[in-house]
Amino acid sequence: MMDFYESLPAWLVNTALIIAAVIAGIQGYVAYLILLERKVAAWVQDRIGPNRVGPFGLLQPIADGGKMFLKEEVIPAHVDKIFFLMAPIVAFSTALLAIAVVPLGQTTPPPAATATVAEFESAQAKYAASYSTVVVPGLDIGILYCFAIGSLAVYGVILAGWSSNNKFSLLGALRSSAQIISYEIPLGMSIVGVILFAGSLNLETIIDYQVNKGTWFLFTQPLAFLLFLVSVYAECNRLPFDLPEAEQELVGGYHTEYSNSMKLGLMLLAEYAHMITTSFLMSIVFLGGWSLFGLETAITSDPTGLFLVKAAILGGKMSAFVFLYLLVRWTIPRFRFDQLMALAWKVMIPLALLNLFAAMLIRQFDITPWAMTGVSAMLFLGAGLIGLKHGTPDNRARKLKVPLPRGLPAGVTYAGR
């Protein structure tokens, strides 16, 4: 048996190991993320939170998981069975696929083009010998792949909503598709500015650019970061943009009919996996991945130690973003649907376009990247000033123009104004 394993190529064993580690890691992280979500919710509301199962409630995720597996699988009679069963699988597998290109720790960027073939060969050999903690290292369309797969996740939601044959589920799914289509645009455009500077879609190269420059895109492109942050909240259906599952309006939204068991478990797992993926993306693209202004090499130079330190730094950044997700949930109330759409189309897309235009100019004329910081601040303030001048037009200063129709008692307003 050992001979068989040894006969396998090293890259295959490595990749298989990383895949297993990533899947197990994500599921474990999600389990404890759900516990943390409940804990943070409790803390923010001056409560203690789940603390009955195990010390400090630490075994709660295991109890919850066991419950999910042991519950009866209910498939309502009125659903479209094939798509109903397919939806959680689609949702969860796309969520896991998106993480394939995300570097989880130490990375080596693929070599750039060289003058001679010999140089290229040696650079390639050196690259092949180095080790990257990615399931699919060196994928040149990296971030594009992430966005593509991330958008596919909406299929899970739409399939669930449509096949449930239930008006609340369908409304949730419709809201979700409208929302995700709207927010894909600022999400994509905000990151193009970053890609212009890094010169590659490859996530390892983007990290490498930030390490070489000694600064993060968070500082040179803060507006892009802000737009990206807001967009991923909408993409993940998290508050303040959780309209697809607004429980006060839509019962459970698109997963109303997934009342229990592992189908609901997979749906929730997919949502949390999305949070993790987007948090990784934010830390990599805007916070320099595993870099910490050279501090990571100052601590240790031992390769194993360095590997662990880098993984810990990236994990810490990712966890900070995840924590922000949880905290924002209890901070900002849910947007109304028209506000959600207005924010995407009237504010974020114009801002992203202007930001992209500025990035193009600065890149073209080789002005220092720090100019982008000023431009971002100016755009941000400018948007605020425009808002100050014109206010929110829809719900302010309504004047009663038409007298109320006869016969309506005082206090009853007429829908036709």
Of 90 and 343, nearer to another protein (C-beta) is 343
- CA-CA distance, 245 to 251, in Å (whole number)? 7
Angle made by CA atoms 104, 312, 224, in degrees to the nearest 5? 60
**Contact yes or no for 49/57 (Cβ under 8 A):** yes
404 forms part of the interface with another protein (CB under 8 A): yes
- Assess 251 for contact with another protein (CB under 8 A): no
Among 214, 305, 374, 387, which residue interacts with another protein (rule: CB under 8 A)? 387
Number of residues that bind another protein (CB under 8 A): 36
Q: 46 or 72: whose CB is closer to another protein?
A: 46
Task: Pick the binder of another protein from 87, 207, 218, 226 (CB under 8 A).
Answer: 226
Q: Please, which residue, 59 or 328, has the CB nearer to another protein?
A: 328
Is 46 a binder of another protein (CB under 8 A)? yes
User: Minimum CB separation from another protein for residue 41, in Å?
Assistant: 10
Contact 253, 6 (CB under 8 A): no
Contact residue for another protein among 4, 301, 399, 416 (CB under 8 A)? 399
406 lies in the binding site for another protein (CB under 8 A): yes
Which residue, among 272, 50, 235, has the nearest Cα to 146 in the 3D structure?
Answer: 235
Q: Least distance from C-beta 275 to another protein, angstroms?
A: 18
Q: Tokens standing for 47? A: 């409560």
In whole angstroms, what is the distance from residue 126 CA to residue 356 CA?
A: 35
Supply the angle between the helices 10-44 and 81-98 in degrees, to the nearest 10: 100
Rule CB under 8 A: say whether 81 interacts with another protein.
Answer: no
Interface with another protein (CB under 8 A), residue from 45, 301, 304, 368: 45
Cis peptide bond upstream of 240, omega within 30? yes
Kindly report the backbone phi and psi dihedral angles of residue 206, in degrees, each rounded to the nearest multiple of 5, phi listed first: -65, -40
According to CB under 8 A, which one of 294, 410, 415, 416 is a site residue for another protein? 410
Residue 406 C-beta: closest distance to another protein, Å = 6
Q: Counting contacts by CB under 8 A, is residue 214 touching another protein?
A: no
Cα distance from N-terminal residue to C-terminal residue, the chain: 80
Assess 51 for contact with another protein (CB under 8 A): yes
**Between 192 and 347, CB nearer to another protein:** 347
With contacts defined by CB under 8 A, name the span among 25-33, 129-137, 204-212, 384-392 that binds another protein. 384-392
Q: Which stretch binds another protein (CB under 8 A): 85-93, 150-158, 208-216, 375-383?
A: 375-383
DSSP at 405: P
Please report the sign of the dihedral spanned by the C-alpha atoms of residue 63, residue 66, residue 72, residue 77: positive
Q: Which stretch binds another protein (CB under 8 A): 80-88, 115-123, 280-288, 383-391?
A: 383-391
Regarding 374 and contact with another protein (CB under 8 A), the answer is no
**Contact by Cβ (8 Å): 228, 191:** yes
CA distances to 108, 117, 123, 129 from 120, in Å? 16, 5, 5, 14
Long-range contacts of 39-45 (CB under 8 A, 24+ apart): 40/323, 40/326, 40/327, 40/330, 41/326, 41/329, 41/330, 44/327, 44/330, 45/330
Binding site for another protein (CB under 8 A): 40, 42-48, 51, 226, 327-328, 330-332, 380-381, 383-385, 387-388, 391-392, 395-400, 403-404, 406, 408-410
